[in-house]
Structure 1
Amino acid sequence: MELSPWLILFGVLVQASVILADTNVQDTAGLTGIAASWDTKPSNWDGNDPCGDKWIGIICIQDRVTSIRLSSQSLSGTLSGDIQSLSELQYLDLSYNKDLGGSLPSSIGSLSNLQNLILVGCSFAGEIPKEIGQLSKLIFLSLNSNRFTGHIPLSLGGLSKLYWFDLAENKLTGGLPVFDGTNPGLDNLTNTKHFHFGGNQLSGTIPSQIFNSHMKLIHFLVDNNNFSGSIPPTLGLLNVLEVLRFDNNKQLSGPVPTNINNLTKLAELHLENNQLTGPLPDLTGMTALSFVDMSNNTFNASDAPAWFTALPSLTSLYLENLQIGGQLPQELFALSAIQTLKLRGNRFNGTLNIGSDFGSQLQTIDLQGNQIDQLTVGGTQYNKKLILLGNPICNQGNNEQYCKTATQSNPAAPPYSTSKNCSGLPATCLPSQLLSPSCTCAVPYKGTLFFRAPSFSDLSNESYYLLLEKDMKTKFLSYKALIDSIALHNPFFDANNNLEISLEVFPGGKVQFGEQDISDIGFILSNQTYKPPPVFGPYYFIAQSYRVATEVPASKNSKANKLPLIVGVAAGGAVVIAVLLLVIFFITRRKREPKKTEERSQSFASLDMKSTSTSVPQLRGARTFTFAELKKITNNFSEANDIGNGGFGKVYRGTLPTGQLVAVKRSQEGSLQGSLEFRTEIELLSRVHHKNVVSLMGFCLDQGEQMLVYEYIPNGTLKESLTGKSGVRLDWKRRLRVILGTAKGIAYLHELADPPIVHRDIKSSNVLLDERLNAKVSDFGLSKLLGEDGRGQVTTQVKGTMGYLDPEYYMTQQLTEKSDVYSFGVLLLEMITAKKPLERGRYIVREVLAALDRSKDLYGLHDLLDPVLGASPTSLGGLEQYVDLALRCVEEAGADRPSMGEAVSEIERITRMAGGAPESASESMSYASRTPRHPYGGDSPSEYSGGGLPSSRVEPK
C-alpha cells in the first residue's frame, strides 16, 4: 500500500511519454511484451513508437499495427500472449526463426482481423490452439515445419474464408476431422484450395465426407502419414483437383475408386508405397496427367493398359513392382512429353520395340527384372539410359550396354549449379561472402526450396532451372526486393518425393542485406507471394539463419519539436524510477530472512547409493555452480533456451559471464534417470578427456536441483543431421569423418580409460556435432566401469535403447565392451540409410541382411540408402567394406564382433578409399593395443598423471 503513490506517478509518467508517440498505446504495450519474451530481437526495437520509428518488420496504418513480418531474423524465445493486444493485426509472419518455439498462445484467437498466420520453419510445439478457429477472416494458415503435436482441431472447420491450409511436416496425430453433428469439420472448408497435411503421423480412415462437389480443392496432400482403410469414392467429386498425394501411408488399402478418371484436371497422381488392391486404376481421359506413380502396391496382375499411350501430357510414369505383363506398346516411347519410364519388377515380355520416333525428351527407361527377350530400336541406337538388367535378353550375351545398372550404363550427370562466367576476376571472396552470378562478392540469403509435386523428372535438363532463375528474379524485382541475382544449386528428389533445390539470393547495390530486406524477401517466400512456373508445382521454403547488417533509421524531423518535452518527461521518469527502486530494495531487504546453510546445497553423500566411505566423486576440472548462476545464464531456464530433452530432463543453452556458450542439463521431477545416473555422469566425465567425448564443465547440487554443465555443441545431434532437422547436410565423406570420430571416442573409453568404460547407450542422438562437424560422444548416465582388471564383464540390469540394444546382453544380462560394438554397428547402418533402427516392426539390421546381394554394386542396397547420398559407386567409395564392417559389429555373438580399435582402423582405411584423409599423422592414434598412451598427438606417455588416464587438460581445438 505504501508504494501505490509512487507506482501511480510512475504509470502516469510512462503514459505521458507514450502519448507523444505516433503508435497506439495498446499496440506499443503488446509489441513491448512480445519483445520481452525474446532473447534476441530486431536491432531498432527500442522506445515506445513502433510506427513512427519504423521498427523492423512492423507495418502500420495510421497509429495501428497491422502487420508483423519478421522472417529470418534469428529470433529466439517464445511468442508471448501479449500478441492479443494487437487487435488490428492482419499479417503475422515469424517464419524461419528456428529458435522461436514453445506453445502457441491461445490468445492468438482474439486477433479478429488476422488474415495471414505464417509460422513456417520455427520450433513451435504442443497442440495447435483450438482458438485459431475463431479467426473468421483468416485466409492463409501456414504452420508447417514445426513440432506441433496432438490432433487437428475440429474448430478449424469454421475458417470459411481459408484459402491456404498447411500443417505439413509436424508431429500431428489422429484423423481428419469432419462434421460431428454439431461442429463443422474440414469438409466445411469449401473455399480452401490447398490441403497440405503430409509428413505427420495422422491415422485412421479417410472419411468419405472430406470430399464433396462444392469444394474448390486443387491440392490434396496427405502423403507420409499412417492412414489406413480405402480411398473413399467421393474423391471423384473433386473435379478441379490438380495434385493428389496419398503416397507412403503403408496401410492404405482397398481398390482405387473407379471414378478417379473424373479428375480430368489432375496433373500429379501419387499412390506409391501403399497396400492398394484391385485392378490397376483406369486413367483414360485424364489428359492433364504429367506425373503418375503407383509403384509398390498389390494391384491385380494385368497386361499393359490402353491408357499407357493416351496421356498426351505424361512426362513421368512410375509403375514398379506391380506384376503388369504383356508387351509394351511402341507408342508409349513416342509420347512427345515423356521423360522417364520406371517399370522395373513387372512381367513385361516379348520384344521391346522402342522404334525410331521415340520422344526427344525421353531420358530413362528402367525395365529391370522383367521378361523381355528381344530388343528393336529403329534407325539408330537409343543412346540414353536404358536398363534391361534381369531380363532374359541379358542372358544371351547381346546388348551388353543395356544390361548394366543405372550408374554403369549412364553415370548420373553432375547436379545443376548456376553458372558464373567470371574469368579474369578475383576467384575468392571474404569468408562470409560468395561470388554471385553477376561476379560480385556478397553475402547471400540462403535456404532450400521444396517443391512438393514438380511435373518433370529429368533433373539433367537445365532449361527448368534457367526458367526458375529468370522467373524468380523478375518476380522479386517486381515486388521491389533489392536483389541483384538468383543462384540455384544441387537439385535432387528427397525421400519424401519432394524436389529440393538450394537457393541463394544476392543483394543489389550492397554487399549485405539489412534486416528489413530480409524481412521483405522472407515474406515473399513464406506468404507464397511468389508463384513459381506451373511445372514446379506447390512449394515451401526453409531459410538458413542470416547475420544481417543492422540498420538504425535516422530520427525524423517531424519529431524534432517533441524533443524538449520528451527529455523533460524522461528526466522526471528517471528520478521517479530511482526512488522507486530504492524503496523496493529496502522493503525487500527487510522482509528477506537469511537462508539456512543446509538449504544451500546437497552434499554428494546424499547421492551415494551404496553408502561407501568415499561419497565425493573424483573431480578433475569440473567446477560447482550455484542454482542462481545457472538460472541467470539460461535466462531463468527460458523455453527459448530449451535445446532438447532426454531421460534425465531438459537441456538449456546458457552463456557464461566470459561469453562462452554451455549446455545445462537439468533434472526434472519424474525423470527416467536419477541420482545414481547423475553421479555416474559426473564421475566418468570428470575423468575422461578426449576430443571425441563431450566435455563436462561442472555441475550443480544447489536448492534441491541436480544439473550438469557441458561444453555447448552448436550443430546438434547426429540424428538431427540425418533426418534433416538441423540443416546440416552430411555427404559420404563427412559421414565417414563423423563415424570415425565417434569410433575413436568409444575406443578411447574401452581401451585407454582405466578401468575401461562401457557407454551402454550408443545411438545417433548421443553423438553431437561441433562447429567443424567433429563428433563427440555424449550422455554417460547409463555407463558402467568394467572393473579394475581392465577386462571382463559385468552382470547388470539391462539398460539402453531398443533398436541399438545388444541381443546377447539382453538375453544374458552380461555387459561387455562388445555391447557398445553392437550398438555402434547399428549406428553404422543408420548412417547410410537415415532410417530409425526400429520403426513399425521394421529392424534396420534385418532389412539390410534381407536386401544384401554381394554380387551387385553397392551390395544391391540402392533402395535402402539415404537418397541424400546418391546411390553411385563412384561417389560412395568403400561402401561395401563399410557394410561388411557394420555387419561384423552386429554379429549375434559378441566374440565374433571386432573391437572398437579394430573398427577405427577399418574406418580409417575406408575413408582413404573414399578419397578422404581421416586425419593427419600427428593427430592419429593407434587403437590396436591397450598400452596406455596419451590420446592427443605429440604428447608422450610421461605426461600422464596416474593410471593411464590423462591429466585434466583439455585438448586445444
Structure 2
Amino acid sequence: MDSRLILVSLLIVFIQISSTWARTNTDDATALVALKGLWENYPPSWVGFDPCGSSWEGIGCYNQRVISIILTSMGLKGELSGDLDQLSELQILDLSYNKNLTGNIPASIGSLKKLTNLLLVGCSFSGPIPDTIGSLTELVFLSLNSNSFSGGIPPSIGNLSKLYWLDLADNQLTGTIPISNGSTPGLDKLTHTKHFHFGKNRLSGSIPPKLFSSNMILIHLLLESNQLTGSIPSTLGLMKTLEVVRLDRNSLSGPVPSNLNNLTEVKELFLSNNKLTGTVPDLTSMNSLNYMDMSNNSFEESDVPSWLSTLQSLTTLTMEHTNLKGAIPASLFSLPQLQTVSLRNNIINGTLDFGAGYSSQLQLVDLQKNYIIAFTERAGHDVEIILVDNPICLEGPKNKKYCMTSQPDFSYSTPQNNCVPSSVCRSDQTSSPNCICAYPYMGTLVFRAPSFSNLGNSSYYISLEQRLMQSFQSHQLPVDSVFLADLMKDSNDYLLVSLKVFPHGQDRFNRTGISMVGFALSNQTFKPPPTFGPFYFNAEQYQYFEEVSLSPEPNKSSNTGIIIGAAVGGSLLVLLLLFAGVYAFRQKRRAERATEQSNPFANWDESKGSGGIPQLKGARRFTFEELKKCTNNFSDINDVGSGGYGKVYRGTLPTGQMVAIKRAKQESMQGGLEFKTEIELLSRVHHKNVVSLIGFCFQLGEQILIYEYVPNGSLKESLSGRSGIRLDWRRRLKVALGSARGLAYLHELADPPIIHRDIKSNNILLDEHLNAKVADFGLCKLLTDSEKGHVTTQVKGTMGYLDPEYYMSQQLTEKSDVYSFGVLMLELISARKPIERGKYIVKEVKIAMDKTKDLYNLQDLLDPTLGTTLGGFNKFVDLALRCVEETGADRPTMGEVLKEIENIMQLAGLNTNPESSSTSASYEESSMGTSSHPYGSNSAFDSSAGYPPSTVEPK
C-alpha cells in the first residue's frame, strides 16, 4: 500500500513539474482571460491563467502562442472583448453556432494581422462590420453569415487579396455594393476570391458594372433576396469561371445582357422574381446548365424557345409567368437529365405531347394556368402532370389525374446499416444508423443552389452521406455515422436537410469533438457532392457534453490494469530519477524568467547602459525605502486622496521638493512592460501645462509614480466650491487657455503624438498661480506614423466627456480629445457635471441657445458665480459647440482651439501670459478644509464612467 502511495505521489509531482514547462504568452493569456470574463458557459477546463499549459479546450497553441480559437456550438453567451488585438499570432477564430453571442465585432480585430479564418456563422452579432477587417491581409475565409449585422459592406474588404471565401449572407446589410474609387478599395479588387455570398440582406442600388472583370476567378455569385435595382451589367458575361449565379428576388429591370451566353460553366442560373424586360435571352451555349429559373419577370411575349432543347445537362426548367406562348416542342422532354418542367401561368396552348423518347428522369411537368386543350397520354414512365386551370380541365372531364394537384412527397431518411435497433435507448437518446444509442450533434444543412429538383431521388442523399463520412474520417474526426432526414425547400428555393452526427466509441461528444465537427462544417472543410452546390450549416447547441470519463465497472481485467499501471509507474519513476537532477536547475531558471517577464527592469545595469533600461528624460528611480522616509512610512497624515488605482500621499524629498506619490493597489497593478511604457511616456512629456513625472519605484512588488505636487487641486473641486477657490470669468478663460496649451502640446509637439483620452475637469489641476496642468495619463494612447491619424482600440474614458464617434467606431483620434475639451468648456461656464439629473450639458446648451439674444439665452445654465462681465462669451460658446460636433472632421484641431481662445482673451482685454496670474492667496477663499487630492482621482473609476481601470495602451 505504501509503495502505491509513493508511486502516486511521484506521479503527481511529475505532472506538476511537467505543467511548469508550458507558459502562455502574457498578452495571449490576458486576452483569453478577458474573453472568459465576458462570457458565460465557457468550457470548464478554462481555469488558471495558462491556457496553453493548462490545455484550455478550444484553444490551439504553438510555442506558447495562441494560434486558434475554435469553439463551435458551445452555448457561449456574451460579447467579444476589445482585447482580442493582443492575440497577435492568432490564425483561426471560429465561434460559429453560438446563438447567444451578441454585440459588435470590436474594431480592434483589425490588429490580428495573421488571421486566416474568421468564422462567426449563426451567432447573434449585430452593428456594423468594422472597416478594420480590411487590415486582415492574410484572411482566406471570412464567414459572417446568419447574424444581424447592419450598415454597409466595408469597402476595405477589397484589400483582402488572399480572400477565397466571402460570406455575408443572411444579415441586415444595407447600402450599395462597394467598388474601388481612386485610393478607396472595393470588392472589384478581389480578383482571387471565388465566393461572393451576399444573399438575404437589404442591399440596394444597382449592381456596379465595375464589380466584374475578366481577370476574376469567381465561381459563386449569390445576390438573391436583396433590394437591388437597375439592369444586369453586361460585364457579368466576362466572368467565364462562374458556376452559380443567383440574382433572383430583387428589383432588377431592363433586358438580360446577350453575352450571358458566354458563361459556359454556369450550372445554376436564377433570375426569377425581378422586373426584367425584353426578349427571353438566348442561352444556347450554356451547355453546363442544370437548373434555370427565370420566373415572374416581364419579358416580351414569345414562343417557347427552341434552344431549350439543346441544353443537354438541364435538370430543371422553371419559367413561370414569363409570357411564353405557343406549343411546347416534344424535343424538350427528351433531354436526358430533365427532371422538372414548370411553365405555369403563361400563354402556352395546343396539345401537350411528350413524344416517344422522353427522359426517364422526368418527374414533374407543371403547366397550370395555361391554354392547353389536349394531352397525348403515353404508357410507361410515371410522370406527375398538372394541367389545372387549362381548357382541357375546365371544359373536359375533371376526374383525370392531371386535372388535380397533390402535395409532393420528398421523404427520405438514412436507413439502418444492417443492424438490430436497440430497444433500450433513453428517451433523450437517438438510435444511430448503426443502432447505437447516443446523443447526436444536430443541425440543418442548407444548400443554396442544388442542381437537381427530384428531391425524392435517394441516390443524391446516399452520395451526400458517403461524402460526409469520407470527410469526417479523412480528418480523423470522432464520428460513427450520420443521419439525414426532413427534406424540404424553403421560400428562397434553398434545400434544407436535417443532419444528425453520431459520436464514435461513446454515447456523446466531448467539447473537442464538437469543435472539430463544427469547424469542418463552418470552415467548408466538408465539400458536398457537386450536385448540391454551395451550402452552410445551421447547428443547434449541443447540450450533452461528456464532462467526466466514467470509471469502468470492476471486472477480471482490473488486475491486468494494475499490472500495466505498475509497469507504467515504474517507467515514470525512472523518468523521474532522470528529471530530478535537472529539476532544481529548471526551477531556478523558470523563476529567473518569471522575474524577468514580470519585471522588465530586473536586468538593468545602468553602468553598462543596458538596452533594457527605459528611455527616461528627467525622471529618476526611487527605492521603496526612500519613499517610506519621505512619507513617514506612508502614514495616514500624508494620505491626500485615493481612488481605484490606489492611494496618493504627500511627500517631501531630501531636497525639500514637495511631491505627490501615487501608490498602486495590488489588484490594480499593470504588467511590468505596461508600467515601463507609462513611465517612459510620462518622463518625456515636459510642458508647463502638463503635470511632470518626477520619478517612479518598481521594487518589492510595488508600482509607484512620483509627480510634482500641484497644491490647488482639480478644476472640478474649484467649480464645485469644495476647494474654496472662486474662479471668475477671467480666471476660467485662463484655465481654458492653459488646458488647451497642454493638449496642443501632446497632440502636435510630443513625439510620437499623445491622445489623452480622458480630458475632464477632474484631470485638470491648478498650481499655486492657478495655471492649468493636464494630468492623469492612465488612458492615453500613442499615435505612431503607421496609424494614419487614428488608433483602433477598446473604448475607454468617462461618460459625458466621451466622443460619440469614437464610442461608435472604436477609432480614436486627436479629435476625440477635442470633443472632451468642448464639454470641459461648457462645464467652465455652467459649473455643472456633463450629465446631471439625466440631462446632458451639450444637448441642454443646444436646446436653450438663441444667438439673437443676450448671452445666447443661456442665463439659466450659467454658473451664478461667474460675474457679470463676460467678454468674448459668445465666441467662447461658439468654439465649444464646434468642438462637440458629432463628426470629428467637423471639429477644429487643438492648435486651432488654442489660437481661438487666445483671440477671445485678447478681445476681452486679457493677458495671455500665464505667469501674470495672481497666486491663490489673492483669491477669495473660504475655509479650505480637507479635500481629496487630484492625483487620487478615480479617473476612469468614476461611478459615471462605467469602464475598467485605466491602463496605458502603447502602440
Change (3 A) 1:382 1:372: farther
2:301 alignment counterpart:
301
Answer yes or no: is 1:385 the counterpart of 2:384: yes
TM-aligned CA deviation for residue 58 of structure 1 = 1.3
| Amino acid in structure 1 at the alignment position of 2:497 | I
In 2, Cα distance between the equivalents of 1:20 and 1:506? 37
In 2, Cα distance between the equivalents of 1:444 and 1:20? 37
Partner secondary structure for residue 83 of structure 2 = helix
Partner secondary structure for residue 28 of structure 2 = helix
Give the number of aligned pairs: 566
In 2, Cα distance between the equivalents of 1:546 and 1:395? 54
| Amino acid in structure 2 at the alignment position of 1:106 | A
2:89 alignment counterpart:
88
- Residues 38-437 of structure 1: matches in 2 within 5 Å? 38-249=39-250, 251-378=251-378, 380=379, 383-398=382-397, 400-407=399-406, 411-413=407-409, 415-420=411-416, 425-427=421-423, 429-437=425-433
2:619 alignment counterpart:
none
Change (3 A) 1:51 1:423: closer
In 2, Cα distance between the equivalents of 1:412 and 1:328? 24
In 2, Cα distance between the equivalents of 1:548 and 1:565? 41
| Amino acid in structure 1 at the alignment position of 2:166 | F
TM-aligned CA deviation for residue 432 of structure 1 = 2.3
Q: Contact between 2:327 and 2:352, CA under 8 Å: does it hold in 1?
A: yes
- Residues 481-500 of structure 1: matches in 2 within 5 Å? 481-500=477-496
Change (3 A) 1:354 1:329: same
The two structures, once aligned, show a CA RMSD in angstroms of 3.4
* CA shift digits 1:740-788 (9 cap, x unpaired): xxxxxxxxxxxxxxxxxxxxxxxxxxxxxxxxxxxxxxxxxxxxxxxxx
* CA shift digits 1:261-284 (9 cap, x unpaired): 000000000011111111001111
* CA shift digits 1:599-627 (9 cap, x unpaired): xxxxxxxxxxxxxxxxxxxxxxxxxxxxx
TM-aligned CA deviation for residue 425 of structure 1 = 4.0
Q: Contact between 2:420 and 2:435, CA under 8 Å: does it hold in 1?
A: no
Q: Contact between 1:330 and 1:353, CA under 8 Å: does it hold in 2?
A: yes
In 1, Cα distance between the equivalents of 2:352 and 2:410? 30
Q: Contact between 1:388 and 1:402, CA under 8 Å: does it hold in 2?
A: no
- Residues 804-843 of structure 1: matches in 2 within 5 Å? none
Change (3 A) 1:266 1:57: same
TM-aligned CA deviation for residue 520 of structure 1 = 0.5
In 2, Cα distance between the equivalents of 1:324 and 1:532? 36
Change (3 A) 1:424 1:373: same
Bigger-Rg structure (1/2): 2
In 2, Cα distance between the equivalents of 1:295 and 1:414? 23
* CA shift digits 1:412-438 (9 cap, x unpaired): 225211123687543352122111011
| Amino acid in structure 1 at the alignment position of 2:304 | A
Partner secondary structure for residue 103 of structure 2 = strand
Q: Contact between 1:18 and 1:48, CA under 8 Å: does it hold in 2?
A: no
Give the one of 496, 505, 510 matched to 2:506: 510
1:464 alignment counterpart:
460
1:660 alignment counterpart:
none
In 1, Cα distance between the equivalents of 2:156 and 2:419? 60
Deviates more, 1:381-390 or 1:136-145: 381-390
Answer yes or no: is 1:540 the counterpart of 2:536: yes
Change (3 A) 1:424 1:33: closer
Q: Contact between 2:360 and 2:381, CA under 8 Å: does it hold in 1?
A: no
TM-aligned CA deviation for residue 48 of structure 1 = 2.3
TM-aligned CA deviation for residue 20 of structure 1 = 6.0
Q: Contact between 2:422 and 2:431, CA under 8 Å: does it hold in 1?
A: no
TM-aligned CA deviation for residue 59 of structure 1 = 1.3
Partner secondary structure for residue 107 of structure 1 = helix
1:815 alignment counterpart:
none
TM-aligned CA deviation for residue 588 of structure 1 = 8.5
In 2, Cα distance between the equivalents of 1:553 and 1:385? 55
| Amino acid in structure 2 at the alignment position of 1:118 | L
In 1, Cα distance between the equivalents of 2:587 and 2:46? 22
In 2, Cα distance between the equivalents of 1:418 and 1:427? 19
In 2, Cα distance between the equivalents of 1:418 and 1:21? 46
In 2, Cα distance between the equivalents of 1:427 and 1:386? 43
Q: Contact between 1:356 and 1:377, CA under 8 Å: does it hold in 2?
A: no
Q: Contact between 1:389 and 1:402, CA under 8 Å: does it hold in 2?
A: no
Change (3 A) 1:161 1:362: same
| Amino acid in structure 1 at the alignment position of 2:517 | I
Change (3 A) 1:128 1:18: farther
Q: Which segments of 5 or more consecutive residues in structure 2 lack a partner in the other structure?
A: 1-16, 551-568, 596-635, 648-794, 796-835, 839-955
| Amino acid in structure 2 at the alignment position of 1:476 | F
TM-aligned CA deviation for residue 530 of structure 1 = 0.5
TM-aligned CA deviation for residue 326 of structure 1 = 1.2
Q: Contact between 2:258 and 2:282, CA under 8 Å: does it hold in 1?
A: yes
Q: Contact between 1:44 and 1:552, CA under 8 Å: does it hold in 2?
A: no
Change (3 A) 1:588 1:114: closer
| Amino acid in structure 2 at the alignment position of 1:31 | L
TM-aligned CA deviation for residue 70 of structure 1 = 0.7
In 1, Cα distance between the equivalents of 2:395 and 2:253? 40
Q: Which segments of 5 or more consecutive residues in structure 1 lack a partner in the other structure?
A: 1-15, 574-582, 592-638, 640-702, 706-957
In 1, Cα distance between the equivalents of 2:437 and 2:352? 53
- Residues 901-940 of structure 1: matches in 2 within 5 Å? none
TM-aligned CA deviation for residue 501 of structure 1 = 0.4
TM-aligned CA deviation for residue 565 of structure 1 = 6.8
**What TM-score comes out, normalization by structure 2 length?**
0.56
TM-aligned CA deviation for residue 377 of structure 1 = 3.4
Partner secondary structure for residue 101 of structure 2 = strand
TM-aligned CA deviation for residue 291 of structure 1 = 0.2
Q: Contact between 1:18 and 1:25, CA under 8 Å: does it hold in 2?
A: no
Deviates more, 1:543-552 or 1:215-224: 543-552
* CA shift digits 1:6-36 (9 cap, x unpaired): xxxxxxxxxx999864322221112111111
1:656 alignment counterpart:
none
1:807 alignment counterpart:
none
TM-aligned CA deviation for residue 356 of structure 1 = 2.5
TM-aligned CA deviation for residue 351 of structure 1 = 1.4
TM-aligned CA deviation for residue 470 of structure 1 = 1.2
In 2, Cα distance between the equivalents of 1:326 and 1:122? 50
1:910 alignment counterpart:
none
- Residues 607-622 of structure 1: matches in 2 within 5 Å? none
Partner secondary structure for residue 260 of structure 1 = helix
TM-aligned CA deviation for residue 485 of structure 1 = 0.4
- Residues 571-650 of structure 1: matches in 2 within 5 Å? none
TM-aligned CA deviation for residue 63 of structure 1 = 1.5
In 2, Cα distance between the equivalents of 1:20 and 1:428? 47
**What TM-score comes out, normalization by structure 1 length?**
0.56
In 1, Cα distance between the equivalents of 2:98 and 2:238? 39
1:841 alignment counterpart:
none
TM-aligned CA deviation for residue 256 of structure 1 = 0.6
1:480 alignment counterpart:
476
* CA shift digits 1:649-697 (9 cap, x unpaired): xxxxxxxxxxxxxxxxxxxxxxxxxxxxxxxxxxxxxxxxxxxxxxxxx
TM-aligned CA deviation for residue 402 of structure 1 = 3.9
TM-aligned CA deviation for residue 350 of structure 1 = 1.2
Partner secondary structure for residue 123 of structure 1 = coil
In 1, Cα distance between the equivalents of 2:343 and 2:390? 12
| Amino acid in structure 1 at the alignment position of 2:320 | E
* CA shift digits 1:897-928 (9 cap, x unpaired): xxxxxxxxxxxxxxxxxxxxxxxxxxxxxxxx
Answer yes or no: is 1:441 the counterpart of 2:437: yes
Change (3 A) 1:509 1:372: same
Change (3 A) 1:402 1:332: farther
